Amino acid sequence: MAFAMATLELPDSLAPVLDAVTAVSGPYEGVYLVGGSVRDILLGEPNFDVDIVVEGDAIALARELAKKLDRRVRAHRTFGTAVVLYGEEGRVDVVTARSESYHAPAVLPAVKPGTIDEDLHRRDFTINAMAVSLKGDALGELVDPFGGRSDLEAGRIRILHERSFIDDPTRILRAIRYEDRYGFRMDDETVRLARECIATGHVGNLSGARLRDELEALLSEGDVSHAIPRLAELGAEREVHPHVVADEETVRLFGRLRELNKRYRLGVPPWRLGLAALGRGLPHQEIGPWLRDLKLRRRDAELIAAAIEHGPRIAAELGRDSLSPADVVALAEPRAPDAPLFALALDDQRQLHDYFDRLGELKLEITGADLAELGLAESPRVGEILAEVRRRKLNGELAGRESQLEAARELVEQP
Ligand code: CTP
């Protein structure tokens, strides 16, 4: 029986790129816009990334497309994929339609070329398993074999088949991410299968790097007030680490950390603050191994560990004593910005606001070159004297260059 296919209005913002794809689509069996691009068009959300699936040679199409748009193409022969960059921030990913088979749970699948139906079949959720044809007579037709459009309208996140989470447990974290981002919810069956998959240890079996990528993506979303308790409710937080705490206090702490990070323009990636908030209950000797397992970059791991271990200590020490500004800097600076930021989020102390407001950035009007002119040869003593002059300046002495030079001269002359 013939029936009318839904035809989509494609957004004007993508018209130049999509028209170019259509113009070069002739030699290929099928050419489609897929996945998140289609979902976001239907939701009316801006999305500059364009995902194209080709029934045929993706790299050949990408080369034609790049020529047409007068852009460069980057091809990955081994994967049969290619990227064309356009405009300020847009990218077109072109891949060959493929079918996948999973040989073991939580491990990446074997892939081979396939049809668009097979390609949609291997995807995570119905709302991500739609395509729009960009070719010839079929231009604009929506391919929606699993009812993704009606799930999108109902705000429902639904997997395509029973084994989906077992095949790829990162999908559980993706589902939680979409729940927060769009205010959607998993349907009952999807939740049941997620719980079952977590309870059988499949999330715990993921490689550290895959788990890290998903946590980073989750913690980089704008609002995670639902996602964090959801991790606990489904039992996933114990799989991230038995001492991870994903409760309302984590949400509050993470919110405060992000607010302060923004206010003082510290530029700490939000996921780093989120991992510190989630990991705040870890016994100290387990923090290092946990972060190593997640395969974080060393510097990130050190700063997260510093926040968890030293943040509470900084807060406690500030609360106990009346410290001079130089003492506050000495306490905060060695592990800045994460540890003092964590301390401030735990306990809103004026001295730490002062640190982020001005103390941390306070510079001297003299440098090592001035000490050389005073006759001091290069040695550790140069650093010591500059540190002492800075300490005095922090405490409100030595306002200008002259008084700093004078103090330096006295220190140089001291035996
Ligand atoms: N996908 C999947 N299973 C995964 C990851 C991705 O099935 N574990 C599929 C989905 O169809 C998804 C597409 O691959 O739409 C592209 O993945 P990705 O770029 O990570 O997500 P987007 O859908 O583009 O969404 P966003 O990046 O906004 O989360």
Q: Quick: pLDDT tens for 134-164.
A: 998 889 999 999 999 999 999 999 999 999 9
Instruction: Tell me the per-residue pLDDT of 371-399, one tens digit each, with 9 for 90 and over.
Output: 887 877 778 887 888 888 788 878 888 87
By the 10 Å C-beta count (0-12 exposed, 13-18 middle, 19+ buried), 101 is classed as exposed
Domain ranges of the chain: 12-148, 155-239, 241-362, 368-413
* Residue 286 Cα to ligand 1 middle (Å): 32
Question: Is 202 near ligand 1, meaning CB less than 6 Å away?
Answer: no
Answer whether residue 314 shows pLDDT above 60: yes
* Residue 165 Cα to ligand 1 middle (Å): 14
Question: Is 123 near ligand 1, meaning CB less than 6 Å away?
Answer: yes
Instruction: Tell me the per-residue pLDDT of 8-27, one tens digit each, with 9 for 90 and over.
Output: 888 888 888 999 999 999 99
3-state secondary structure of 116: helix
Question: Is 119 near ligand 1, meaning CB less than 6 Å away?
Answer: no
* Residue 49 Cα to ligand 1 middle (Å): 11
Question: Is 133 near ligand 1, meaning CB less than 6 Å away?
Answer: no
* Residue 199 Cα to ligand 1 middle (Å): 24
Split at pLDDT 50, 70, 90, the class of 320 is: confident
* Residue 143 Cα to ligand 1 middle (Å): 17
Pairing of strands 81-86, 30-34: unpaired
Question: Is 168 near ligand 1, meaning CB less than 6 Å away?
Answer: yes
Answer whether residue 403 shows pLDDT above 50: yes
- Residues of the chain above pLDDT 90, percent: 69
Question: Is 171 near ligand 1, meaning CB less than 6 Å away?
Answer: yes
3-state secondary structure of 302: helix
Identify the residue whose C-alpha is closest to ligand 1 atom 26.
Answer: 36
- Best residue among 91, 117, 124 to mutate for probing ligand 1's pocket (most ligand atoms within 8 Å of CB) is 124
Q: Which of 188, 1, 223, 34 is nearest to 124 (CA)?
A: 34
Question: Is 156 near ligand 1, meaning CB less than 6 Å away?
Answer: no
Question: Is 128 near ligand 1, meaning CB less than 6 Å away?
Answer: yes
User: pLDDT averaged over the chain?
Assistant: 91
Predicted local confidence at residue 376, as pLDDT:
79
* Residue 349 Cα to ligand 1 middle (Å): 42
Q: Which of 131, 210, 134 is nearest to 169 (CA)?
A: 210
366 near 273, Cβ under 8 Å? no
Question: Is 124 near ligand 1, meaning CB less than 6 Å away?
Answer: yes
Q: Model pTM?
A: 0.87
Q: Which of 236, 38, 403 is nearest to 411 (CA)?
A: 403
* Residue 113 Cα to ligand 1 middle (Å): 19
Cβ neighbour number for residue 62 with a 10 Å cutoff: 26
Answer whether residue 258 shows pLDDT above 70: yes
Instruction: Tell me the per-residue pLDDT of 91-117, one tens digit each, with 9 for 90 and over.
Output: 999 999 998 777 777 677 777 788 999
DSSP secondary structure letter of residue 184: -
Predicted local confidence at residue 176, as pLDDT:
97
Identify the residue whose C-alpha is closest to ligand 1 atom 13.
Answer: 35
Architecture of the domain delimited by 12-148: 2-Layer Sandwich (3.30)
155-239 CATH: 1.10.110.30
Question: Closest ligand 1 atom, CA of 170?
Answer: 8
* Residue 129 Cα to ligand 1 middle (Å): 9
Same fold, 12-148 and 155-239: no
Residue/partner pairs of 348-353 with CB below 8 Å, 24 or more apart: 349/315, 349/318, 349/319, 351/318, 351/323, 351/325, 352/314, 352/318, 352/328
- Best residue among 52, 123, 179, 210 to mutate for probing ligand 1's pocket (most ligand atoms within 8 Å of CB) is 123
DSSP secondary structure letter of residue 12: G
